[in-house]
Structure 1
């Protein structure tokens, strides 16, 4: 054991505080500003909490500390993981000023071994203790992890709430705007009252120890386990991206109240799509009856029931989710990509040459993340060689939690021309500790003689918009009017960034009838869902789809990095996009790639629009003003997904005439 271990052990203490000796006052003798300090009463001073080594500790061990920072943590809560390293940084910074940090885990589902692993994984060196009975959380009034309490020398609570505002449920800022815990410590060390004595802690509900109602008709064994197997354990199992496992009673019971909350607020399952008549093959809706089972179980204190009533464990495919072993496996890189422990990680792009010496028809693919805890989503694209027209947007396959494979029916396939590269767009999420990833994709090739339909990805894409500062509901619309002859719609997938609020696809039939194909009223950038039709939709001549996107650039949008600026098109998450993707199947040999279809008699309005698109594009990207745009002048997303669409003659530069010609005959 390192020599510092005895010093660490001697520093561990109980998290309970003695009753205040006097009425709370600030440094000047009056009531503290920003709210009164809380007084803990009725706490047993001899109550002991164990550390990871099984040794119990009492509060007397901290008599010399000027301030105590008590943080309630959980080993599986995503926000507790992200904030572990930051808490240690603060503990190191303030140690010489007499400030001591302590961590408490009050979750019934967390063991001492898991707490030790949490400390090691996130490099947390301050004491971590286990609140086995839940009395510490009750005394402090703690409800979530992470939640911090700052106690003064008289052991009064002078601050309660969050650490800062960088991370929250469903959002992550590039940096904090408010350093609440740091400010509270600085003010108290300076003899001042805490200006904001209480903030709202966000994160996971503490898994409280409760007495189950054994008379309840709803138990884990007879109903809840089946609901979780159907809707949850595909992601919430060991080794998958779900932050905690829900495969057995011991794992699930401590999360009963949290499950209730996320289902009621529709954060889980991650599906919030509606339609007039469309049915989706990959729908994730949870029936109201199943939701009620979870609500009733939580209300009854999460009773276990008779284990004899448990269903058999659900079986999952551990290897490739493909009809046979892949014909080719392509990793994103030769070496693993290193993922930062915290902060925001911009999309990463990896271009891989698979060595296609001949055209390949891809019928199935499966993306396997190398690190399921850190890989949020992956999109793989086919990038044809220079001079080859891009076939749509080149979409190949995607991975989001719970969905990883692309399997087309017999006769359908995607074309990868000889010489094509595979482009991986990787979205990583920090986990609170350094990680590595080496994601890979497996491909199954179709016999070219059997392919009768080519699957391509098209888009309704609007680049010309500006969202005003503080705009709560900025609307952008784009209508896709032109489709390849004989096309059938297979799926739709909207794309916006963190200011995206809602997205809707409305079909406009040749007779003028309108029908909502899919409506996502609460768009979530964290879930890049594709909405796969249960039955393909044939697209007759004159058929159109209007895409309507709403953006929220106000401060009420907690994911908004800066509501004070105007927002335009761009590939970074602090910029915005408005794209409605379409997966369509077309008769083999009928699709003309990136070259726009012939048009007759464009209107003056269409000519003016095309001219505006060309002028806008060159104003933004022709940095050297030489009348041509090459790849180096473009952001990464444009280079990957749009360059070939505008480079009509394949000479590796884009001219204003090419942009005008493409925009004139294209609706996206």
Structure 2
């Protein structure tokens, strides 16, 4: 009877009575794969282990995690190793995982150290067991490798093969059974977070530190008439949204750059925020998101330049015909021919869209048509060559200081407009601005495509891989990528395979987001010798765990509507002179 009462008391201390919660977060593992805690709702539990690679206790805990990963294969349990050591890189963690023979475990490098702080982990070898659906903490503490003490012997006797207290917890959770909350000593060293300590010691000012970051990274969209749903028009508004700002930073949802942050430095105009900037914002929010009572608010009354042209007044402004968008329904693509009436050939150095209705306009694609193309397939608008386009997040494209696209005098534009209904009747009168060069550039930009239209994604599949490639026929320079997928697009990465067999990673987008169709322009063009193959490898998520998926019970193939799919990337190249 006494033993029964003790067991019931211990049962009451099980994790089911804990009220602790963790924030959602996103990180990239040693192989460049994106992981977000809240997207693991197909799991009953996700185990997160904080690991210092120099800690022998931590190494033993990692080895146990890998044994448990194999033991619970096929069961709804996920495993992640969190590393906040600033001396580590993804490459070094890849080498470490290989040396420890634990390559199947994702090692998440927390370069900002913000995730480690937010999860409340402090020692190497400490684990969190989390319910990813509710973000509830099931257990926090040591792995508890069994070493033969009486409690362990008692558990192991009833559960053959039991190797650790963590094993016991996962066994209980996956079977819906209560478990004993036992205390195991955390023997690993404290994991220091020097980057956060530095920001904390220096102090953070809203006026001097926070407002400049928000102006540079956020307020261009978060303003009246901008694409964002609320305006950063002063401290009180930002303070009120500070919890949401914190969530979007931890999950990397904003700024909407998508590009792997290790690749960001190679590209122009990416919507990227640095680790230091995130640390400053997070420290300010954690300190209460305060403002000095005696200083002026730098964001009060501030707005981006009034002109619709971020690049200045264009050489030619094309007023697109007003489009009437109904309140509901599915809209076909609209094709609008635009006569340029050029008197001579022109070299385009940049183009920009002044979008009238950013809520309804899904995308624009500009095509060029010379006289021959206008005659070909004339009943369907003629054949055409892709010139460029607009999607949320890419209002303007600059082509480079010595690069341009040729518009010959016999060309016209064919403009494809795609709208989505928004529950009320609206109109749109978008403008296109063209910027010309005064002299011919050294590099004429042309476009080629990497495309795979031969796929069918089965219903409910969470990871459907797809691949495409193109061989570059002559010595060229690569200037930019414009990847395109729809709602089920999950990730895409590009590799150059050179004629000598060497391979080079060019760009990775580990968390593709359909709503942000970016153009990634290289700061320094990449030389591609003739015979180079550019390979695109990606994946679709057609499961119910994809928050954008309109119908996870439907098979999906290539199609122009957003509920169909595409695997397409436009490359801008120039001939190597």
Q: Give the TM bin, normalised by the shorter chain.
A: 0.5 to 0.7
Residue 455 of structure 2 aligns with which residue?
A: 465
**Offset at 1:309?**
6.3
> Any idea what the Cα deviations from partners look like across 1:95-125, whole Å, max 9, x if unmatched?
xxxxxxxxxxxxxxxxxxxxxxxxxxxxxxx
Residue matched to 2:524: 535
CA distance in 1, matches of 2:566, 2:521: 22
Per-residue deviation, 1:452: 3.5
**Aligned partners of 1:384 and 1:419 also within 8 Å:** yes
Measure the CA separation in 2 of the matches of 1:396 and 1:373.
Answer: 24
The alignment status of 1:359 with 2:348, answered yes or no, reads: no
Distance 1:226 1:268 in 2: 16
Distance 2:422 2:244 in 1: 20
Matches within 5 A, 1:142-221: 217-221=203-207
Structure 1 unmatched runs, 5+: 1-214, 589-668
Task: Describe the SS at the equivalent of 1:541.
Answer: coil
Change in Cα spacing, 1:468 to 1:324, as seen in structure 2 (3 Å) is closer
Name the CA distance, whole Å, in 2 between partners of 1:252 and 1:431. Answer: 27
TM-score (norm 1): 0.50
Match of 1:492 in 2: 481
Deviation (angstroms), 1:315: 6.7
| Equivalence for 2:440 | 450
**Residue number among 309, 312, 323 corresponding to 1:337 in the alignment:** 323
1:506 maps to 495
Tell me the residue number matched to 2:365: 379
Q: Do the aligned partners of residues 480 and 282 (structure 1) sit closer, same or farther apart at CA in structure 2, a change above 3 Å counting? A: same
Normalised by the length of structure 2, the TM-score is: 0.58
* Residue 260 (structure 1) shift: 1.2
Give runs of aligned pairs for residues 311-460 of structure 1, distance below 5 A: 311=298, 316-319=304-307, 321=309, 325-333=313-321, 336-341=322-327, 347-356=333-342, 358-387=344-373, 394-401=385-392, 403-428=394-419, 433-447=424-438, 450-460=440-450
User: More strand per residue: 1 or 2?
Assistant: 2
Deviation at 1:528, TM superposition (A): 0.3
CA contact (8 A) 1:501 1:524 kept: yes
- Given that 2:394 and 2:517 are in contact with CA atoms closer than 8 Å, whether structure 1 keeps it comes out as no
Name the Cα RMSD after superposition: 3.2
Query: In structure 1, the residue corresponding to 2:282 is in which secondary structure?
Result: helix
Task: Report the Cα distance in structure 1 between the residues aligned to 2:266 and 2:313, rounded to whole angstroms.
Answer: 31
1:282 aligns with 2:272: no
Deviation at 1:330, TM superposition (A): 1.0
- The 3 A distance-change label for structure 1 pair 565 and 534 is same
2:347–2:440 CA contact under 8 A, matched in 1: no
Q: Deviations 1:18-54 (Å, cap 9, x if unpaired)?
A: xxxxxxxxxxxxxxxxxxxxxxxxxxxxxxxxxxxxx
Q: Match for residue 271 of structure 1?
A: 257
Contact 1:229-1:247 at 8 Å conserved across structures: no
214, 217, 224: which one pairs with 2:210? 224
How far off is 1:563 after superposition? 2.5
Aligned to 1:166: none
Secondary structure of 1:386 counterpart: helix
**How far apart, CA to CA, are the structure 1 residues paired with 2:409 and 2:239?**
54
Q: Are residue 583 (structure 1) and residue 569 (structure 2) matched?
A: no
Mapped to 2, the partners of 1:395 and 1:453 lie a distance apart of: 18
CA distance in 1, matches of 2:389, 2:539: 25
Distance 2:489 2:270 in 1: 21
Q: Confirm whether residue 250 of structure 1 aligns to residue 240 of structure 2.
A: no
Does structure 1 residue 567 correspond to structure 2 residue 553?
A: no
| Residue aligned with 1:261, SS | helix
**Unmatched runs of 5 consecutive residues or more in structure 2:** 1-200, 377-382
Confirm whether residue 302 of structure 1 aligns to residue 289 of structure 2: yes
Cα deviations across residues 579-613 of structure 1 (Å, max 9, x unaligned)? Answer: 1221112369xxxxxxxxxxxxxxxxxxxxxxxxx
Larger Rg: 1
- Return the alpha-carbon distance in structure 1 between the equivalents of residues 261 and 470 of structure 2: 19
Distance 1:380 1:466, change over 3 A: same
Query: Whole-Å Cα distance in 1 between the matches of residues 214 and 315 of structure 2?
Result: 35
TM superposition shift of 1:468: 2.0
Q: Of 454, 466, 482, which aligns to 2:472? A: 482
Relative contact order, CA 8 A, sep 6+: which one is greater? 2
Output the CA distance in 2 between the equivalents of 1:580 and 1:472.
Answer: 22
Mark the CA change 1:309 to 1:216 in structure 2 (over 3 Å): closer, same or farther.
farther
Q: How many residues align?
A: 370
Aligned 1:77-156 pairs, distance under 5 A:
none
CA deviations on 1:417-462 (whole Å, 9 max, x unpaired) are 3343323333445555432210011122334x53342211111111
Provide the C-alpha distance between the structure 1 equivalents of 2:494 and 2:416, rounded to a whole number of angstroms. 25
**Deviation sequence 1:214-236 (CA, Å, 0-9, x none):** x9954533422122112101111
Q: Could you tell me which residue of structure 1 aligns to residue 114 of structure 2?
A: none
Per-residue CA distance 1:159-213 (angstroms, 9 max, x = gap) = xxxxxxxxxxxxxxxxxxxxxxxxxxxxxxxxxxxxxxxxxxxxxxxxxxxxxxx
2: CA distance between counterparts of 1:440 and 1:453?
Answer: 27
For the residue of structure 2 that corresponds to 1:292, the secondary structure is: helix
Question: What CA distance in whole angstroms lies between the structure 1 residues aligned with 2:402 and 2:357?
Answer: 34
The aligned residue for residue 259 of structure 1 is: 245
